[in-house]
Amino acid sequence: MVKRPDKIYDFKNDFMFKHSLGNDQDPDAKYLLKLFIEGILGIVCKSITILNPDLVVENIEDKDMVLDIRAQLDNGDYVNIEMQSSAFSKNQYQRFQIYGASLLSRQEKTGDDYKEKIRHVYQIIFIDGIDKNNLKLYDKYESRNEEGKVEQYNLITRVYVQMPYINIIKKQKELKEFSELEKGIYIFENGLTDDIMALKGHKVIEVMKNKIDKFNKDEELRDMAYKRSLNRWANEQDKQDMYEKGKEKGIIEKNREKTKQLFKKYYPDENPDILDNLNNEQYDRIFEMILDNCSVAEIKEMIK
């Protein structure tokens, strides 16, 4: 369970993340946004406008709420940024794709000029996991053909920033050799560690430390971040419980079918449906009884 901390130091807390980067009126937040957007996407933007700057505090206990950052660049393109503190999963891959499509579809309004209003959507997803098939810091996805050519007028670009990979990079070079972008990702993944704080004169470190310090001076913000962590933890536990129940159900169904097949083979004149709605232990026992040439009457007696 999530222990209530005196202070919050983890940028992987999406409440902390949104508070730190989701304000285009704050010079420090604008610096971080520009650093991550330009560095990760490889584009240059003169201005960034946050479209959802408010933290919806009243919905903080909504376990499924996405605390993302939706921004628009000076050329009209959209950038969506979110922090995902858990590793990859099938459900997450699908959600990211569906969410990207929804961000694109929001632009369409009846009667508008289609050519003028549809803008490119970029997704930047900071995730605390690594796809073993794609060992890189940035894993970029776009619509391509079989030859690898990007589809003409492609409208969605999705980039996974695989944060743990920054520690692999650290084994290859010193922290002082990191770019400002790499230092920022390192702090996202590991926090303001002693080795990162030992570096002096690096703006990204100073800005992110300043963000942490200001956040922790506000007791209400700390409380909201804690509640967010607690609810995210509960949500993950619920999903795990559902997975375990589904896994158990699948095992029972497989056991039932196997037992019914054997039952039909040895007792072809009997209705195998008498074996429905039993538990795993019962199916194991019946399977053994069939192999031991027990009578149908004995099996029915055991089921009672």
DSSP notation for 51-99: S-----GGGTT-TT----EEEEETTS-EEEEEEE-S---HHHHHHHHHH
Using CA atoms, how far residue 203 sits from 28, 30, 35, 304, in Å, is: 10, 13, 11, 73
Q: Is 56 a domain residue? A: yes
State whether 129 and 253 are in the same domain.
no
State whether 110 and 172 are in the same domain.
yes
Indicate the residue among 217, 237, 262 that finishes a domain. 217
Q: Is 38 a domain residue? A: yes
Range of the domain at 276: 248-303
State whether 213 and 258 are in the same domain.
no
Q: Is 227 a domain residue? A: no
State whether 289 and 202 are in the same domain.
no
Please tell me the pTM assigned to this model: 0.70
Q: Is 84 a domain residue? A: yes
Question: Rounded CA gap, 85 and 10, in Å?
Answer: 10
State whether 200 and 131 are in the same domain.
yes
Question: Rounded CA gap, 95 and 89, in Å?
Answer: 10
Q: What is the dihedral of CA 184, 186, 190, 193, to 10 degrees?
A: -80
State whether 162 and 81 are in the same domain.
yes
Indicate the residue among 195, 217, 239 that finishes a domain. 217
Which residue is listed with tokens 């946004």? 33
pLDDT reported for residue 229 = 62
- At residue 171, φ and ψ (nearest 5 deg) are -75, -15
Paired strand residues for 84: 127
Question: Rounded CA gap, 172 and 170, in Å?
Answer: 5
Q: Is 158 a domain residue? A: yes
State whether 202 and 267 are in the same domain.
no
Q: Is 118 a domain residue? A: yes
State whether 211 and 253 are in the same domain.
no
pLDDT reported for residue 273 = 87
State whether 176 and 287 are in the same domain.
no
Question: Rounded CA gap, 253 and 292, in Å?
Answer: 23
Give the count of domains, the chain: 2
State whether 146 and 69 are in the same domain.
yes
pLDDT reported for residue 111 = 47
Pairing mode, strands 69-73 and 48-50: antiparallel
Please identify every stretch of the chain with a pLDDT value under 70, giving residue numbers as ranges.
Answer: 1-8, 55-66, 108-116, 222, 224-248
Question: Rounded CA gap, 288 and 252, in Å?
Answer: 16
Q: Is 226 a domain residue? A: no
pLDDT reported for residue 244 = 56
pLDDT reported for residue 2 = 45
Sheet containing 156-162: order of strands: 48-50, 69-73, 78-84, 121-127, 156-162, 138-141
Q: What is the pLDDT of residues 178-189, one digit of tens each?
A: 999 999 999 999
Q: Is 5 a domain residue? A: no
State whether 261 and 197 are in the same domain.
no
State whether 208 and 281 are in the same domain.
no
